[in-house]
Amino acid sequence: MTELEKIQRAKMYIDKLANGVDPLTDAEIAGDSTLNNVRISRCLFYVSDILGKVIDNGGEVGRKKSVPKPKLLPFEITAEQAAAVEISEQPVGVAIIAKRINEVIDENVKKAAAVHISNWLVEQGYLAEEIAANKRRKVATAKGEALGIYTVDAISPNGVPIKKNVYDEHAQRFVVEHIMQIESNYN
């Protein structure tokens, strides 16, 4: 008899006891028996429930082992998928561009990341890092502005004035066209 079978049999015995039935003879237990006490019966139902969870877990005590997530493939986007990325006339931030790219790629590949895009744009000279008020931020360079990247004043969700980079239609297309090159550094 396997451990799981032993646990199943123990649960069956406890269920019968909790319901006032002798598990060996299937006869009703006398009404004045300690096993017919409501508190004892509730305790037996509780133990039965726990054993049920152990049985559902394949006989293992504790939480079910989580199924490991499948390993994601390196980032990849086809020409058809790239053509399907939404490009807006309204300037948008880099996080929106990354989100739109991720909406069209396969689910089993690594996602494009806004930070990867920004870092690549710094490497290419479209953005520059500067430190202001002890905080590092990226701002558009003259080369970036020529492409369509602009650093604008904005208000954060917390109501704090910030500088934000926005990408016009041309800059959005540029990022999408170069996303394979950008993400290849991070695969």
Token pair for 137: 């931020």
Please give the pLDDT value at position 112.
Answer: 97
- pLDDT tens, position by position, for the chain (187 residues)? 888 889 999 999 998 888 888 888 888 888 778 877 888 889 988 999 998 988 888 877 776 666 777 899 999 999 999 999 999 999 999 999 999 999 999 999 999 999 999 999 999 999 999 988 788 899 999 999 999 999 999 998 889 888 999 999 999 999 999 999 999 988 7
Q: Judge if pTM exceeds 0.85.
A: no
Give residue for tokens 């199924």: 67
Residue 173, helix vs strand vs coil: helix
State the DSSP code for 131: E
Backbone phi, psi, residue 169, to 5°: -55, -45
Asked if 139 and 165 count as a contact pair (C-beta separation under 8 A), the reply is: yes
